[in-house]
Chains A and B, each alone.
Chain A
């Protein structure tokens, strides 16, 4: 079965033998975009988080067939037009990653949250960011999220 969608601004299609199989594999292996990670395959850890029509979606539990005609963004497409996305920039500024494996999922979840809550409180962050990081980079992530929110704010002013 052939599924067509827009991913990171480009029209693509991918062939899967079962439309119910996870979109994650179509992205990672079908389109060779490896930034979206497999962690649990059960929508628990959040490493596979992407955006589908602007909303955070855990792609390991999202049937490929439902991607038909949708607008998808992965970590590779978060920064656009040669400009580093504020969340990614904040992550760099705060030197967040350790092993780095879970980070794309967190970055995508954060970007989705900041779209809807531009200035999150600590409590908002605690409630909204529920991915799993084993290295324990949460402490720096929180700082990076606040920093990204500020950077977003500055962009708006300009």
Chain B
């Protein structure tokens, strides 16, 4: 019972990136981009610059092992996702990660620290594939576009990317290349404009 709740929560929170669903709309082509942007400046581009950054992808791995570090190596000690994305019985994510970064140890932390479910793996995928997956209710935990927007712009674990703390050597972790405000703005614009996934 508890497990279910956690799972639901997880799905709800982690998947956030999955912008939803206006897959139909896109397919039917009724949405149109009316604003013109410089290359790489479109809301979609800005958003995806963040979502494909290691701060996000490290916890959306393609296998069962999280990645870590600026070089996105497999998480040390081969820790695994476990049944619910929170690790195993002997150790959970929370054995080492708490609700906040720890400057003494360099262990990062944020509320709901966990791995995104396997169906939400981003590692090795293109921007378009990630976006499609994120907006597809079958692959995003049945979320609406609005849910996704909330997750992407409000969830503490997502926003941790802009406060990633220091690493084990005491050096600041790299932040995503787009400032937080601009990113939030971009996500909102993109979703409000119908979440159009460009062809690439």
From residue 162 to 200 of chain B, which have CB atoms closer than 8 A to chain A? Answer: 168
Q: State the majority secondary structure of interface residues on B.
A: loop
* Bound-complex Cα distance A128 to B91 (A): 6
Q: Which of B78, B99, B100, B107 contacts A43 (CB 8 A)?
A: B107
Q: Mark B89-133, 1 if CB is under 8 A from A, else 0.
A: 111101111111011111100000000000000000000000000
B97 CB, min distance to chain A CBs, angstroms: 8
Residues of B within 8 A of A61 (CB): 96-98, 102, 104-105, 107
For residue A135, CB closer than 8 A to chain B, the reply is no
Residues of A within 8 A of B96 (CB): 43, 58, 61
Most buried by B among A42, A66, A117, A124: A42
- Taking a contact as CB atoms under 8 Å apart, the answer to whether A42 and B91 are in contact is no
* Bound-complex Cα distance A41 to B96 (A): 11
- Taking a contact as CB atoms under 8 Å apart, the answer to whether A56 and B91 are in contact is yes
Kindly state the interface size class of chain B when it binds its partner: 20 to 34
* Bound-complex Cα distance A56 to B94 (A): 8
Which chain A residue has the least Cβ–Cβ distance from B107?
A61
Residues of A within 8 A of B98 (CB): 61-63, 66
Q: Which of A22, A49, A117 contacts B89 (CB 8 A)?
A: A117
- Taking a contact as CB atoms under 8 Å apart, the answer to whether B80 and A57 are in contact is no
For residue A144, CB closer than 8 A to chain B, the reply is no
Listed in ascending order, the chain B residues whose CB lies under 8 Å from chain A are 76-80, 88-92, 94-100, 102-107, 168
7 residue pairs, one from A and one from B, having the closest CB atoms: A128-B90, A116-B89, A113-B90, A61-B105, A43-B96, A61-B107, A130-B77
7 A-B pairs with CB atoms under 8 Å apart are A43-B105, A55-B94, A61-B104, A113-B88, A117-B90, A124-B89, A129-B90
Listed in ascending order, the chain A residues whose CB lies under 8 Å from chain B are 20-22, 41-44, 49, 55-58, 60-63, 66, 109-110, 112-113, 115-117, 124, 127-130
